Structure 1
């Protein structure tokens, strides 16, 4: 079979996961508590079905079996995160040797199976003790993160050539400091801006530390969830609303990461609204001289916006939504389980934007995926027949392929996720994996999509 859609040689086929959502063993082998362990203990009612992260998909104990399955479904790369609270319990000080052994074993097992490890340093899981010191609002925590990053580079840098400072750094900002869906459940735009700013300072400082080590053939980047902002119409008011949404939700991280500076328009809005963060003297040069080598792009859905219909309540807390309304486009295609629009062309629009406005930076799709409830409905002869997932991936890959043909510097596609995993507050409500996880027995069974992606990877296209 000759593939109609052929991808460049050396294209990365794989998936992504995070420590808290996959490892389990939340209190084993000296691991410290992170904010998720703590929040679940405090308010289990905020978690779907009251299920917390203590077991997850038990990768901590089953990584060998899981990596064999990755190999079986054609992975040549896999992104995972290191748990800061496992490696350095409490976030500062003594390194946990059992954690060092675990991560070394995982890396070695991946390499033995010809799967390139991509390591992400932070995926929403702040050590509890550091959250109590102010989390990302605190420069002390920023410095602790840089020390943690250095430990990781020194321990694993000789084996790992792809590093990422953060995954979706905007999510702790939105969830923890604006919209109350992550701990510490603060609703305060001022503090949210400080958290966002300090996170990018932490990323730049980690990049600076990484470069000072001159690790051969290694690159460092960041993973951002980019949601193209589409206006309802070409009316100037709608265009302005879409531009502001883009500034808040995309360019607030994309510009400092790639260009080393913040968009002037964004700074103007932040100043005008009295939201300026505390900055330090050397920050500007730090950001401009420590931009990323490559970009991971998480794409799930577009953002559609229109001009505000009503004036915001002057008594209510200031929110990004004060500047635009969300717009539900008639006839849009939906993933009803997640309440998200499916818009495959968005992946192409992101790639073209990176080509046109961000120096065609080397990038890859670091997450894309479809969460579906009650997947057991689709079991036939012992296997989940998830044709909807195959169609979802294929339709996105067709647009991704088009962007590559038009000169976009896209190097790979990682699915969220390898195996059905624990989701932050949704637990196991929606399933995302190529591999089905039986929650009662912890048995792993390859879904139809797993066999499909194996062929795609083997043929480097379809």
Structure 2
């Protein structure tokens, strides 16, 4: 029997833009995702856009009942900035205030611990049109949006997150083409990352000032960077990958300052963001109260074919245009794989994250806020009307065994949250991969608890398995 500490939290995470949907006359403004779908629907799987998410806005009463039926003791949704403040600044949408207050009150009435995230990749398009996160105006608009949330909902919510995986819009929007504005510009990416961190720190300040008893955090995908080999080149590549992809937000969020090595790397090619000493003071003085940690798969890296140590690279006055200048992805032969999604499954990553937090970050309190298994074509596992997702149960158990060991070894982890509750829409992939404890019928919007959902309730009731 794997027993977890008393008070350990069991639940799931979701997001507003992936679950709420859009109802005629709901007052929601256009987000970056709404805009991108309007101009390039072909980029979205089966051309299913953000207007056709899992209708939580319409069906939240039933969904909150299902939270209880699947054993939730905690739940992490997000507020859509573009729903609450349609233009990003200015007028508040009263229908959004009514909706979120009703949702939060119902969840509280169930005795479910509510943790609310402020930003899950969704920017009001009115701000994107003015430069988005490249523009400092967006930083202060976010601060004001966060403060408004604390004022409007602070009597119902006492635990907050600023951003979910803030490195992802940086990588996917400014180093790849998976999020809008889908451009490759390393200097812009670094400015966006810095501006996002500053916005997070300003929100922490506002939370502590307005509601001193409330707690606030950030959610980071702290995927360990594992080198291909013990060669000095591969070890360096892994270290730099970790600096960019984890420590660029982890260190300023928890410690209040950026890693010196990271600063030196970006300074070497004149990539430092526009910043002021006063802004660095804000970051230093407003660190998080705990951490949210997402983990799905490891990051395996190798030295780039044209190593940054090479003579040619040293003489490259143009400098890097992307992170593959410093490291490249490595596909490890013989890795354990999720055959339904294509991602590597590597449970020891949870332990490695836990020990890193314990040893390098003062053993700050944390919650595993996302972990999960996406499955394409999941309907083929349906028997007698219920999806028999034993593979998902096994996936969760295998990760929980490692998490349990980490807690035994001193990790300060206080909860486990699966992604996700009801099958939800997922950015460019739409409904291609299903993650939920509850199946969603796209045609009828009918919800049906999967085998894993019934199992999860037993897990929660027993505080272990």
TM-score (norm 1): 0.97
Distance, in Å, in 1 between the alignment partners of 2:172 and 2:23 is 22
- The answer (yes or no) to whether the contact 1:173–1:192 under 8 Å persists in 2 is yes
Match of 1:258 in 2: 254
Q: Is contact 1:27-1:33 (8 Å) kept?
A: no
Q: CA deviation at 1:226?
A: 1.1
Range with bigger deviation, 25-34 or 4-13: 25-34
- 1:316, distance to aligned residue in structure 2 (A): 9.6
5 Å matches for 1:11-410? 11-25=8-22, 28-216=25-213, 218-310=214-306, 318-410=321-413
Match of 1:429 in 2: 432
Which range moves more in the overlay, 239-248 or 21-30? 21-30
Question: Equivalents in 1 of 2:40, 2:300: separation in Å?
Answer: 33
CA spacing shift, 1:150–1:93, aligned 2, 3 Å = same
Alpha-carbon distance in structure 2 between the residues aligned to 1:43 and 1:110 = 36
CA-based RMSD: 1.3
Give how far 1:308 is off: 2.1
Unaligned runs of 5+ in 2: none
Output the CA distance in 2 between the equivalents of 1:434 and 1:89.
Answer: 31
Q: Is the 8 A contact 1:26 1:53 kept in 2?
A: no
Report how far residue 285 of structure 1 moved: 1.3
Are the aligned partners of 1:306 and 1:326 in contact in 2 as well (CA < 8 Å)? Answer: yes
Post-superposition shift, 1:311? 5.2
Runs of 4+ in 1 over 6 A off after TM superposition: 312-317
Distance 2:23 2:50 in 1: 7
Instruction: State the SS of the aligned residue for 1:39.
Output: helix
Q: Distance in 2 between matches of 1:443 and 1:124?
A: 27
CA contact (8 A) 2:121 2:169 kept: yes
- Return the alpha-carbon distance in structure 2 between the equivalents of residues 208 and 361 of structure 1: 19
After superposition, give the CA deviation of every residue in 1:375-429 in whole Å (9 maximum; x if it has no partner).
Answer: 0100011100001100100000000011111111101000000010000000000
Deviation (angstroms), 1:231: 1.0
Residues of 2 paired with 1:264 and 1:281: CA distance?
16
Measure the CA separation in 2 of the matches of 1:353 and 1:90.
40
Q: TM-score, normalised by structure 2?
A: 0.96
Structure 1 CA distance for aligned equivalents of residues 231 and 203 of structure 2? 42
CA contact (8 A) 1:297 1:364 kept: yes
User: Which segment drifts farther, 23-32 or 166-175?
Assistant: 23-32
**Deviation at residue 161 of structure 1 after TM alignment:** 1.3
- What is the rounded CA distance, in whole Å, between the counterparts of 2:228 and 2:22 in structure 1? 47
Structure 1 residue 26 displacement after superposition: 5.7
Contact 2:307 2:326 in 1 (8 A): no
C-alpha distance in 2, partners of 1:309/1:188? 21
Residue aligned with 2:321, SS? coil
Q: How many residues align?
A: 458
SS in 1 for 2:2: coil
Q: Deviations over 1:216-250 (max 9, x none)?
A: 3x200000111100111222221111101101111
CA distance in 2, matches of 1:433, 1:221: 25
Q: Which one is further off, 414-423 or 274-283?
A: 274-283
- Does the aligned pair in 1 maintain the 2:269–2:319 contact within 8 Å? no
Give the secondary structure class of the aligned counterpart of 1:166: strand
Deviations 1:324-344 (A, max 9, x none): 222221210012333211000
